[in-house]
Structure formats: C-alpha cells, structure tokens
Amino acid sequence: MGKVLGIFISDGGVPKLSVNSVHVTNFGLVGDNQADKKHHGGLMKAVCVLENELLLRLQSEGHPIQPGTTGENLLLEGFNLTIGSLFRVGNVELEVVSAATPCKTISESFTNGNFNRISHKKHPGETRWYCKVIQTGKISISG
C-alpha cells in the first residue's frame, strides 16, 4: 500500500513548499499555482507526482534534489506508477495521464544542471507524472 510522504504547493515556480494537508479539486491542489500555464496545470496536468524511490536513486547518484524542488505536488512511496495507473491518496483518486517533461527551471536539482535525468524519453519510468483528478477530496501526509 502506498503512502504520501510530502505535499507541496507554491504561488508559481520552484521550490514548492511543504504543507501537511490540502484539498484537491479537478484543477489541482488548492493554494498551488503555476507560473507557466502553457506547460503546467489544467485538467490533464492537475497534480504532479514524484515517487520517493526515484528521489532516493537520484540523491544516491549525487544530485542535490530535495522534496519539492522539481515542482512536484506529491512525493509518494510504494505506488509503482505508470501511464494509465489509477490510485488513491487520502480520499482523492488520481489517474496518471502523462510523463512531466523536465525543463531548465528545475536544473538546480541536478548535478551540472542535467534536468533531463528525469526525462521519460531518455530514462523511461524515471520521471515525474502528471495526473488528472478522478475524485476530488483531501490529502494528508501519511503517518
């Protein structure tokens, strides 16, 4: 069974800041905003998810990545996500609809600015995921 290790929101940009709980609408986390609405947010990119297993792997490779620094909304553990995955966090149901294409905005999280380290095209499955909200509700950090 998976769990929520972190919830992150910001007024736009990175890093996103940690909160203990959040309400989720069809358009994403209440209190979260995106500076670049052309590439982020909306119904099909409402929630950005990073799996802790990848975060730990990146840190072990020497990258200075930390929770919230790549713009993810949720840091999860134990879900093994892929495109098409349906999963629940709290009473919220999400569906993974696409990989989140990395950009230079998150380069400080990577050695030598190599943000393409989390490119799904270059490293299949080692990415952040965009999710649409199937059922709205509240998410809290797992105990």
- Over residues 35-65, the pLDDT tens digits come to 666 666 789 999 999 999 999 999 999 999 9
- What are the sequence ranges of the domains in the chain? 3-140
4 — pLDDT class (breaks 50, 70, 90): very high
CB 109 within 8 A of CB 63: yes
Instruction: Report if pTM > 0.85.
Output: yes
Q: Say which CATH topology domain 3-140 has.
A: M1 Pyruvate Kinase; Domain 3 (2.40.33)
Cα 68 to the center of its chain, rounded Å: 8
